[in-house]
């Protein structure tokens, strides 16, 4: 992947603020919203476990900032090989999102590049938003000054939706598609399938298409067949 996503990129359709189900994360969403819209809003550092929505919010911020006429860049560091070069290649954007900071922790050259970017962004009034599984104090960084800079951001630990909240989201999204997901179907699904909300919503899209094609309700046998055909459960 390149260090910069081209401005012509169509951002993932679900990675928008309106598709983020905040749960206990309303304050974090508000802070990211403000950063996307305002050049001088406080910078934000998001941490949390996989599936808590960090990448979703970073892409939502980029998309909202772009729609507001600001230039943006998104760096998914875990997908980039040359971290230092990728970071040093960032320039000229008004809003920059750096995802998966864990990937560069311990790489002295990459940390220096990020330190320099941080200071340059301050001087140029560029908005920065960061995400990692660990908070700055817990990242295994070799540069204490970088840890200090990151720690000065407004920090939020994202809390994943619990099973009750995920079930409610799925029911609401299914209802918008004209699909009824009863508790029997949801019990079976949550016992056998990934509980990451993004994966569940992707599955719901497939169920929507499959049920329309087959003109069938979504029942446990129907769901089982869809997952078997996709080889996501054993035959």
User: Could you tell me if residue 235 is inside a domain?
Assistant: no
Structure tokens at 33: 């919203």
For residues 180 and 201, membership in a common domain is answered with: yes
Question: Which of these three, 108, 130, 157, is where a domain ends?
Answer: 157
Count, residues in the chain = 235
pLDDT at site 7: 40
Task: Kindly indicate the confidence band of residue 233, based on its pLDDT and cuts at 50, 70 and 90.
Answer: low
**Rounded distance between C-alpha atoms, residue 27 and residue 24, angstroms:** 8
User: Could you tell me if residue 175 is inside a domain?
Assistant: yes
Sorted by sequence, the CB contacts under 8 Å of residue 97 that are 6+ apart come out as: 58, 59, 61, 62, 72, 73, 74, 75, 128, 129, 130, 131
According to DSSP, the residues that pair with 127 across neighbouring strands are 95
Cβ atoms of 60 and 20 within 8 Å: the answer is yes
Residues 123-162 have pLDDT tens digits of: 999 999 999 999 999 999 999 999 999 999 999 999 988 8
DSSP 3-state of 81? coil
Total structural domains within the chain? 2
**Rounded distance between C-alpha atoms, residue 116 and residue 112, angstroms:** 6
According to DSSP, the residues that pair with 156 across neighbouring strands are 46
pLDDT at site 3: 40
For residues 209 and 118, membership in a common domain is answered with: no
For residues 87 and 194, membership in a common domain is answered with: no
What is the average pLDDT score of the chain?
90
User: Could you tell me if residue 114 is inside a domain?
Assistant: yes
> What is the DSSP track for 56-75?
HHHHHHHHHHHHTT--EEEE
Q: Which of 39-43, 169-173, 196-200, 230-234 has the lowest mean pLDDT?
A: 230-234
Q: What is the CA radius of gyration of the chain?
A: 20
pLDDT at site 81: 87
pTM: predicted TM-score of the whole model, two decimal places: 0.83
Tell me how many helices (H) and strands (E) the chain has. 9, 5
Which of 76, 75, 70 has the alpha carbon at shortest distance from 93? 70
For residues 72 and 128, membership in a common domain is answered with: yes
User: Could you tell me if residue 10 is inside a domain?
Assistant: no
For residues 30 and 128, membership in a common domain is answered with: yes
Domain residue limits at 175: 163-229
For residues 108 and 199, membership in a common domain is answered with: no
User: Could you tell me if residue 12 is inside a domain?
Assistant: no
User: Could you tell me if residue 205 is inside a domain?
Assistant: yes
For residues 65 and 130, membership in a common domain is answered with: yes
Which of 222, 196, 228 has the alpha carbon at shortest distance from 207? 222
Question: Which of these three, 139, 157, 175, is where a domain ends?
Answer: 157
């Amino acid at each position: 992947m390149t260090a910069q996503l081209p401005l012509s990129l169509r951002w993932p359709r679900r990675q928008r603020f309106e598709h983020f189900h905040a749960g206990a994360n309303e304050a974090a969403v508000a802070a990211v919203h403000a950063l996307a819209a305002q050049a001088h809003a406080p910078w934000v550092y998001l941490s949390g476990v996989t599936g808590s929505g960090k990448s979703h919010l970073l892409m939502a911020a980029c998309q909202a900032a772009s729609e507001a006429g600001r230039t943006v860049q998104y760096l998914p560091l875990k997908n980039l090989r040359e971290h230092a070069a990728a970071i040093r290649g960032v320039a000229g954007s008004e809003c920059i999102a750096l995802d998966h900071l864990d990937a560069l922790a311990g790489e002295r050259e990459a940390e220096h590049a990020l330190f320099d970017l941080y200071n340059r962004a301050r001087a140029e009034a560029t908005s920065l938003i960061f995400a990692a599984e660990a908070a700055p104090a817990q990242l295994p960084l070799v540069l204490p000054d970088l840890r200090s800079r990151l720690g000065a951001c407004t920090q939020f630990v994202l809390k994943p939706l619990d099973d009750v909240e995920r079930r409610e989201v799925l029911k609401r999204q299914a209802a918008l598609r004209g699909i009824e997901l009863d508790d029997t179907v949801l019990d079976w699904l949550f016992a056998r399938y990934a509980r990451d909300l993004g994966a569940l919503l992707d599955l719901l899209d497939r169920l929507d298409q499959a049920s329309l094609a087959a003109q069938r309700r979504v029942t446990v046998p129907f769901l089982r067949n869809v997952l078997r055909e996709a080889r996501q459960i054993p035959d």
